[in-house]
Structure 1
Amino acid sequence: MAFVSSNVFSAPPPSAPTAEQAQGVLCGPWALAFPFSWARNLIEDIELSDVPHAPAWLMGAANVDGAVIPVFDLARWLDPAQGTEAGPGSHVLVGGEGDRVAGLIFRGLPTLVKTVAGVPPSLPPALAEFARGAAIDATGRPWAVIDAPALLEAWAAELSLA
């Protein structure tokens, strides 16, 4: 299994993003922000291995720095008609620590966002329970800050029932 890693960022440099900043990614029509405390790496041109009998939103497994991690399609999980295909223009945001590392596929490039007080933008009910706040980018676009560890735990529970 091979992959080409393009580390747009690894961990935030000491002088760069603070705890108030996050990576914003577009998953389908939803603008989602993942805190730098979770988001660790960005990968392009990733090769995925199929996971037998997995739901469509578990895109596959990838070898990232010697560890095999699951790669999820959050857009397809929320709406089976949506979906992000692996290939040119797609990226995987890798986050977590230890045995709780996973990837989220998305299109385009990540956006630096800053958390703000307020209510996150509207999300589908399945995702709204994981929204932990709001963020904005440099243009003022609203983003929902997502509790990625809680979301991954929910996915793990859902997969264990399958």
Structure 2
Amino acid sequence: MANKEALRELQTRLATRLQAAREQPRDAGWLAVECGSAGLLLPLGQAGEIQAVKDLTPVPHSAAWLAGVANVRGQLDAVIDLAVFLRLRAAAAPRPGAQLVVLNTSLRVNAALMIDRLAGLRDTSQLTRMPDDGLPRPAYAKQAWRDERGRRWDELDLARLVSDPLFLDLAA
């Protein structure tokens, strides 16, 4: 019971901070999440509501990274296991503590990303841009950053992610 209350409190604080972050002019702002062992930065303007994973309905004959569909406030959203899509994990499966980051309606796609853990908010004052390593990156993987503890964070452009041909190919 205490864990549910703590989770609810964390979600409330994050929602409040997200709203405040959207209202303030900023150089850049991200929702920091963890998928597998990777730290990812999702642009605040492209991320929407955050919810606990519950009641996923499987979709037969679909891509391995499509965890299912979920009813989010009366709307059916495709739930993409982001760790599987990014090849950080082999199989989609709900995990204890997993969260859904519903994509902003401005992206015009009914989808949510299943992530392992929320890690708070980040902005450019907390991160240092890493030099380009010359390795090929998908169009949606914009930039790598490093925080003060040396952890790598990869910035994703969700608008480019949802228009990626692989993302759009839901069939197995």
Q: Shorter-chain TM-score: which interval?
A: 0.7 to 0.9
Q: Structure 2, unaligned stretches of length 5 or more?
A: 1-7
Which residue matches 1:13? Answer: 19
Aligned match for 1:65, one of 36, 61, 73? 73
Larger CA deviation: 40-49 vs 137-146:
137-146
Post-superposition CA distance 1:25-61 (Å, at most 9, x none): 1112221100110111111142101112111100000
Which residue matches 1:132? Answer: 142
Answer yes or no: is the 8 Å Cα contact 1:69–1:103 preserved in 2.
Answer: yes
Aligned match for 1:77, one of 67, 75, 85? 85
- Percent identical: 28
Q: 1:152: how far off?
A: 1.5
Aligned residues: 156
**Alignment map for 1:27-66 (pairs within 5 Å):** 27-66=35-74
Pick the structure with greater CA Rg: 2
Equivalent position amino acid for 2:66 in 1: L
Which residue matches 1:148? Answer: 158
Relative to the length of structure 1, the TM-score reads: 0.75
What is the DSSP-based 3-state SS (H/G/I as helix, E as strand, rest coil) of the residue aligned with 2:60? coil
The answer to whether 1:157 aligns with 2:168 is yes
Change (3 A) 1:65 1:119: same
Which residue matches 2:5? Answer: none
CA RMSD of aligned residues (A): 3.2
Aligned counterparts of 2:102 and 2:168: Cα–Cα separation in 1: 20
Q: 1:15: how far off?
A: 5.8
Answer yes or no: is the 8 Å Cα contact 1:48–1:62 preserved in 2.
Answer: yes
Equivalent position amino acid for 1:153 in 2: S
Q: 1:68: how far off?
A: 0.5
Relative to the length of structure 2, the TM-score reads: 0.72
Answer yes or no: is the 8 Å Cα contact 1:28–1:84 preserved in 2.
Answer: no
Q: 1:74: how far off?
A: 2.0
The answer to whether 1:88 aligns with 2:96 is yes
Change (3 A) 1:79 1:140: closer
The answer to whether 1:104 aligns with 2:113 is yes
